[in-house]
Amino acid sequence: MTEVVQNVRTELRLYIEENFLYLHPGLELKDDDQFLTLGIVDSLGFVELVEEVQARYAITVEDVEITEENFGSIDAIVAYVEQKRRSA
Amino acid sequence: MCGLAGIVRSDAAEPVDEVALRRMLAAVRHRGPDGCGIALEPGAGLVSSRLAIFDLPRGWQPLEASPGGGILVYNGEVYNHPELRAELAARGEGFDTTCDTEVVLRLLERDGVAALDRLNGQFAIAWWQPAPRRLTLVRDRFGVRPLYYARVGDGTLVFGSEAKALFASGEVAAAPDILGVDEVFTLWGPRAPRTVFAGVDQVRPGGLVVWERGHIVEEWTWWMPEYGAGEPPDEDLEELLRESVRLRLRADVPVGTYLSGGLDSSLITALAQQETDHELRTFSIAFADPRYDERVHQEEVARAIGTQHHVVEALPRDIADAFPDVVRHAETPLVRTGPVPLYLLACEVREQGITVVATGEGADELFWGYELFKEVVLRDLHRHEPERAEALLDELYASLGPAGSRRGPAWRRFLLETGADDAQLGSHRTRAGATAVVKAFYRPEVAAETGKTASLDRLRRELPAAFGRWTSLERAAWLELATLLEPYLLSSQGDRMAMAHGVEGRFPFLDHRVFAHSVRLPEAEKLDGMREKGALRRIAAKVLPAAIAERGKQAYRAPEVAPFFGPEAPPWVEEALAPSALSESGLWDAQRVDGLLRRCRAGRATGMRESMALVGILSTQLWHREFVGRGIAGYPPESREPRVRIDRTGEPSAKEAA
């Protein structure tokens, strides 16, 4: 794992913990846990999450990319950001 | 305009305590600071606190039709009372006053509740008929004026303009209705007859409730908004609106207007200035934060029309300081701080010696001005022209995001997909979904009691029979009237904030004839693509600067989190949200609230979700502390001598007995 990827992972985890996990005290979030399935992120929270990723990593998110496959877990977002950066 | 209250018992031999009535009077005194009156019957008592608008020296209440006859206490205005009086006078009726109250009582005594159809105005009525021991409670068509009631004991009915009057009686205890509170965190307000208090009901807008000898014997709706294709209107909207404004300028006191700087209030102000023979006074709210501030537009309109203009700047500290009073007057948890500046504005209006203001309320509902209506159109457009729809969706709710920003694809997706499969409530699922964020802070037992969809399920069960035959935009319009206009805008943000300072709001767009006209207008006259309110803009173009007549809607909002944190924040905020206080109210999970508080203190709770959650939780805490568990010691009795006293009990008055 590169240092850049690790930084993205750390930043994202911190963001998720700060913004959403306080509503789920005691939950140990794993990197592959699904936000929506576990109810960690509600629909409006999902909007904020995508906007955050877009702004923080200066990437343009296309409509068709807003899927659980890309934004459903920390692992998913890390992979998505990495892929977007590679193709930029 | 007044506050009213009363107690009626099934058994005439069971007395009503005058001191209890005086406590109820004092609880609604702010609604009618000019004087009060009491009527005592065997087993019944009705009281009125008056804000004098018509026939200042003689229009006191309670009013009796004849010695021993019917008695009326009444809160509101019937604007067409001179015409109705002339009609009655032509048939030989005599009048002692020039006040609308007497016209209403005589019409009711003559025609019964069939007379309601004749009334053009905003009112809550309690009409007592002694012989059948019957009390009829009535609310105006749109529910501008509030009216609460509770059944207690062996058939006693306690009623009042505000719920606090019921609690002041000593016969009704304040306790939360969790399902009512959940409606606030779904739709922004509880839908009548439900309230946020267990055992307390409210008369439905356009509804009436008849109590007789201990039982509610009738409960029905005498007017309801109806949609559906009909003949296009043949009356002229401009003339209708002018007539509505003219009627709403009728008063024996000066009338001003609220001016937001948007199309609706500017149009009402312009028409009012043309219809009045004195320099109109206009009142506006301003904010230091440019995201909320509209003062440039307000000043432009005031200059163009030539009004004497007043501005109240709502500073963050002002918002925090007034918030407990706002919750006390609203009598409900809130999800926005929007009512606070209107509370501050009404205070200024009163200080300037004005007691009546006309506003633009209702235009967005009748002429489809909200972004929500555009969402409905764009969801439909997306099926045929997805790219165009997505580009337009991006521009909705621009004021909610950072200045100049576009919200992006996730926002578009949220607007497109939320409610897309809900043919009934789809138009309102985005608002309900966003508001439900507050529910994530419920304690587990509260979440279990309310369920995830209880409030929407109830709404779904109570949709009108014709709902399915209306167009998607008409359905959205009905839902907007039923879920936001009365439960929140006219109540928490309207009546309660103005009447807290004894100021009466009047709403020319909510004349039922204007509503009927708007329903029959072709849809494109209300929303043509993304251009809303075409029918109103054509009138506005004649009386307002072009920039105002064509100005797009700016959502009214006030600062939400910032006023309650930081060095200037009042100390009661942290106290109200402390674990012990949360435990007392029993609604919120302390650990989760603590997480939110940490983010608020750090200045990180800047999004819509957490703003709404903070306001929702904080207001609930204040509301609970204000009402629940407060005994009658917290409700001192009215000490003013009544200007009217009707006593048919044959008992010595409390004062005489003392």
pLDDT tens-digit series, residues B449-493: 998 888 999 999 999 999 999 999 999 999 999 999 999 999 999
Per the prediction, chain B carries an average pLDDT of: 93
Taking an 8 Å cut-off on Cβ atoms, the answer to whether A42 and B441 are in contact is no
Q: How confident is the model at residue B606 (pLDDT cuts 50, 70, 90)?
A: confident
Tell me what the mean pLDDT of segment B41-53 comes to.
94
Find all residues with CB under 8 Å of B238, minimum gap 6, and list them.
Answer: B539, B542
In this model, does residue B202 exceed pLDDT 50? yes
Residue B181: which of B630, B629, B631, B616 has the closest Cα? B616
pLDDT tens-digit series, residues A7-44: 999 999 999 999 999 999 888 999 999 998 888 998 88
In this model, does residue B399 exceed pLDDT 70? no
Tell me what the mean pLDDT of segment B287-297 comes to.
93
In this model, does residue B401 exceed pLDDT 70? no
pLDDT of amino acid B52: 83
DSSP B231: P
Q: How confident is the model at residue B194 (pLDDT cuts 50, 70, 90)?
A: very high
What's the sign of the alpha-carbon dihedral B152, B154, B155, B159? negative
Q: How confident is the model at residue B658 (pLDDT cuts 50, 70, 90)?
A: very low
A51-58: long-range contacts at Cβ-Cβ below 8 A with a sequence spacing of 24 or more?
A51/B407, A51/B408, A51/B410, A51/B411, A52/A15, A53/A12, A53/A77, A53/A80, A53/A81, A54/B408, A54/B410, A56/A11, A56/A15, A57/A8, A57/A81, A57/A84, A57/A85
Tell me what the mean pLDDT of segment B239-257 comes to.
95
pLDDT of amino acid A1: 56
In this model, does residue B566 exceed pLDDT 70? yes
In chain B, which residue's Cα lies nearest the Cα of A50? Answer: B410
DSSP B354: -
What's the sign of the alpha-carbon dihedral B347, B349, B354, B357? negative
pLDDT of amino acid B514: 97
Q: Between residues B551 and B65, which one has the greater pLDDT?
A: B65
In angstroms, the separation between the Cα of residue B595 and the nearest Cα of chain A is 5
pLDDT of amino acid B406: 56
Per the prediction, chain A carries an average pLDDT of: 90
Residue type at position B13: A
For residue B434, list chain A residues with Cβ-Cβ distance below 8 A: 44
The radius of gyration of chain B from alpha carbons, rounded to an integer in Å, stands at 24
What distance in Å separates the CA atoms of residue B84 and residue B102, rounded to the nearest whole number?
11
pLDDT of amino acid B495: 96
Q: Is the ipTM of this complex over 0.95?
A: no
Taking an 8 Å cut-off on Cβ atoms, the answer to whether B441 and A66 are in contact is no
pLDDT of amino acid B392: 87
For residue A50, list chain B residues with Cβ-Cβ distance below 8 A: 408-410
Residue in B407, B433, B592 nearest the CB of A43: B433
For residue B410, list chain A residues with Cβ-Cβ distance below 8 A: 46-47, 49-51, 54, 61, 66
Query: Of B50-54, B203-207, B229-233, B365-369, which gets the smallest average pLDDT?
Result: B229-233
Tell me what the mean pLDDT of segment A70-85 comes to.
94
**Domain definitions of chain B by residue range:** 2-224+639-657, 227-303+342-556, 562-627
pLDDT tens-digit series, residues B92-104: 999 999 999 999 9
In angstroms, the separation between the Cα of residue B18 and the nearest Cα of chain A is 50
For residue B413, list chain A residues with Cβ-Cβ distance below 8 A: 47, 63, 66
DSSP B176: B
What distance in Å separates the CA atoms of residue B439 and residue B453, rounded to the nearest whole number?
11
pLDDT tens-digit series, residues B319-359: 999 999 999 999 999 999 999 999 999 999 999 999 999 99
What's the sign of the alpha-carbon dihedral B309, B314, B318, B320? positive
Q: How confident is the model at residue B55 (pLDDT cuts 50, 70, 90)?
A: confident
Looking at the structure, give the CATH architecture of the domain made up of residues B227-303+342-556. Answer: 3-Layer(aba) Sandwich (3.40)
**Domain definitions of chain A by residue range:** 3-87
Q: Is B140 exposed, middle or buried (0-12, 13-18, 19+ CB in 10 A)?
A: buried
Count of H-run helices and E-run strands, chain B: 28, 20
Instruction: Please give the structure tokens belonging to residue B59.
Output: 């229009």
Please count the CA atoms within 13 angstroms of the CA of B365 that sit on its side-chain side: 26
Asked whether the beta carbons of B70 and B105 are under 8 A apart, the reply is yes
Tell me what the mean pLDDT of segment B278-302 comes to.
94
Q: Regarding the domain delimited by A3-87, which CATH topology (the fold level of the hierarchy) does it fall under?
A: 1.10.1200
pLDDT tens-digit series, residues B551-561: 888 889 999 99
Instruction: Please give the structure tokens belonging to residue B446.
Output: 């509260």
Interface of A with B (CB under 8 A): 18-19, 22-23, 25, 42-51, 54, 61-63, 65-66
Q: How confident is the model at residue B154 (pLDDT cuts 50, 70, 90)?
A: confident
From the CB of residue A39, how many other CB atoms can be counted at a distance below 10 Å? 13
CATH 3.20.20.70 fits B2-224+639-657, yes or no: no
Residue in A18, A23, A62 nearest the CB of B409: A62
Q: Choosing among A42, A44, A46, which should be mutated to test the B contact, i.e. which has the most B CBs within 10 A?
A: A44
Q: Are strands B35-41 and B644-647 parallel, antiparallel or unpaired?
A: parallel
For residue A54, list chain B residues with Cβ-Cβ distance below 8 A: 408, 410
Query: Of A14-18, B291-295, B327-331, B629-633, which gets the smallest average pLDDT?
Result: B629-633
User: What does the longest C-alpha to C-alpha distance in chain A come to?
Assistant: 39
Taking an 8 Å cut-off on Cβ atoms, the answer to whether A42 and B410 are in contact is no
pLDDT tens-digit series, residues B209-240: 999 999 999 999 999 999 987 788 889 999 99
Please count the CA atoms within 13 angstroms of the CA of B573 that sit on its side-chain side: 24
Q: What percent of chain B has pLDDT over 90?
A: 83
pLDDT of amino acid B652: 54
pTM over 0.90: yes
Asked whether the beta carbons of B331 and B623 are under 8 A apart, the reply is yes
